[in-house]
Chain A
Amino acid sequence: MTDPKIALPKIALKGVRKQFGPKKVLNGIDLEVGKGESLVVIGGSGTGKSVMLKCILGLLAPDAGSIMVDGVETTKLRTREREKLLHKFGMLFQGAALFDSLKVWENVAFGLIQGEHMPRAQAKEIAIAKLGAVGLSPDVAELSPAELSGGMQKRVGLARAIADEPEIIFFDEPTTGLDPIMADVINELIVQCVKDLGATAVTITHDMASARKIADRVAMIYEGRIIWTGHAGDIDHSGNAHVDQFVHGRAEGPIKMQVRAL
């Protein structure tokens, strides 16, 4: 682990477990994400993808296991230290999770104003610049999030995630609920933003088109474990029946869906 020849992974998970009541959601996750790498975690609904992200962010406390960010154990952090650590992170939520009581620019500038105590005027300038970076014009800034379409909300969410230039960005199903063209626009933006910031990115998705576009490396999660990792190019010949079934979207295969005939 401390071998100096191997670069320190940005994020390293070891044996992370989390269960809700009798339901084991994470069953010993082992995963490493290198610095500046874009990892895409694929897996079906309810396989623990979101829970894993929330454990890394500390929104949920794992029952067991270790989560290291930049070589620092994060599972035992106190509130203050955790807040400091979260400065490194940005996250795009599945439903964008914009604050509907605030205007669009206030949403984008939120981390700057509240987290870094920047003056509002200065934060507004940055917010408008970031909105420009995701292809939104300055007049959108004064609208309220409820007035925007789903695709625009996602873009605002992306602008908010990159506003205070985080080292690590999480994307929670960035293309879910968007039409294919808007999905591709968002994918392009993600690739662009991650490259511009030089950030480490972790994306969870079940949209294979998105995964192919964003990923340097792909990991597949199944029944609370990482069952396969490999380069994005190897995904079509992974040699793993589960991955193969998922990538090609077949109903027949080792992964059984819980469906019952009526």
Chain B
Amino acid sequence: MDRTRAPTPRRGCRCTNAKSKDDRSAHRCYDRIAPTNLNKDAGRLMGFLAATGRAFLIFLEATGRLALFTGSALSHCVRPPLYPRQILRQMIDIGYYSLPVVGLTALFTGMVLALQSYSGFSRFQAEGAIATVVVLSVTRELGPVLAGLMVAGRIGAAMAAEIGTMRVTEQIDALSTLSTNPHKYLVAPRLIAGLTMLPLLVIVADVIGVFGGFLVGVYRLDFNAASYINRTWEFLQPVDVISGLVKAAIFGFLIALMGCYHGYHSKGGAQGVGAATTNAVVSASILILVWNYLITGIFFSTK
């Protein structure tokens, strides 16, 4: 930005892009400040403020765009016609093909949890609590969070890449010209599949995770199998599992939303699609961690 330019006498937006009064209110402009005879420090301060404001406006714009996108996509999830073939395809992609990776993650998480808590808890003679610790940690936290993160890497990236490629090769425009709403055809099935499949995946992950703990407990740490299972059930409450499944549903929704949103708004060629993929995975992962805290707070905070 040229800060030595003489100030224009107009009020409101002073940017040179605005030619007329109407234009000024209509066009988007983040360069609202064109200071001149101010001394250097003030100029630097203004520059800093301008940059901050610009970043903030861009942030608001992105938030608004995401909110509109989410609203539109959600409304298409409940308004017919739905596309059963697309929903089924996405469900198989998300639910069935993620089983191996989620199962392995859960198995080793359960195993390491048993091992860790044994070495930790034996310091104060609480080894008996291991089964309970494993089942509570897995159902409440680690099942949904780790499954969510793994699926974010697997599915979020794939969605962003697929939809992004469709965007840059004009396939999304082609959908519109064939009287098919892209939000309904591409986004809604993925959201529905994410929302429904993640809880199912997490049920499997819970079982496998507890089983991993059981394996280590019984075969490595010499617990009695029957008493380990008893201890697993003893303190488990429905809310532990239910809270995990609610988390999973929300994580599934967030993964699909981020994948679709970033893919849908990707621009440029291969580089744009690559950036969209990265953004989808990173933003989904961060949102999972943030929402994990929020939902835990809603379910379990006593204060």
Q: Which residues of A contact B (CB under 8 A)?
A: 19, 21-22, 54, 57-59, 63, 79, 83-84, 86-87, 89-91, 93-95, 97-101, 110-111, 114-115, 117, 160
Contacts and interface: CB of A to CB of B under 8 A. Distances in A.
B169 A110 contact: no
A95 B168 CA distance: 10
B173 interface: yes
Given A79-B181, A83-B181, A114-B185, A99 B176 contact: no
Interface string B80-107: 0101000000000000000000000000
Contacts of B237: none
B238 to A, nearest CB: 41
B169 A95 contact: yes
Name the residue in B83, B171, B179 with the highest tally of chain A Cβ atoms < 10 Å from its Cβ.
B179
A97 B165 CA distance: 10
Interface string B229-256: 0000000000000000000000000000
Interface string B153-196: 00000000010001001110111111111000100000000000
Name the residue in A101, A111, A114, A160 with the highest tally of chain B Cβ atoms < 10 Å from its Cβ.
A114
A86 B178 CA distance: 7
A29 B33 CA distance: 33
Nearest to B81: A117
B173 A93 contact: yes
Contacts of B176: 57-59, 86
B298 interface: no
B6 interface: no
A59 B170 CA distance: 11
B177 A57 contact: yes
A115 to B, nearest CB: 4
Interface of B: 17, 26-28, 81, 83, 162, 166, 169-171, 173-181, 185
16 contacts: A21-B17, A21-B28, A63-B26, A79-B181, A83-B181, A86-B179, A89-B177, A90-B177, A91-B174, A95-B169, A95-B170, A97-B170, A101-B162, A114-B83, A114-B185, A115-B180
Contacts of B175: 99
Contacts of B169: 95, 97
Given A93-B170, A114-B180, 5 more contacts: A19-B27, A22-B17, A59-B177, A98-B171, A100-B171
A114 B179 contact: yes
A97 B167 CA distance: 10
A97 B178 contact: no
A86 B170 contact: no
Contact of A99 (B26, B28, B174, B177): B174
B286 to A, nearest CB: 29
A91 B180 contact: no
A95 B174 CA distance: 11
Given A22-B17, A63-B26, A115 B170 contact: no
Contact of B178 (A79, A95, A111): A111
Nearest to A90: B177
Given A22-B17, A63-B26, A114 B173 contact: no
A22 B17 CA distance: 6
Contacts of B178: 86, 110-111, 114-115, 160
B171 A97 contact: yes
Contacts of B83: 114
A83 B179 contact: yes
Nearest to B173: A59
Contacts of A91: 173-174, 177
A93 B174 contact: yes
A86 B177 contact: yes
A99 B179 contact: no
Given A22-B17, A63-B26, A87 B179 contact: yes
Given A22-B17, A63-B26, A114-B185, A97 B174 contact: yes
A117 B169 CA distance: 26
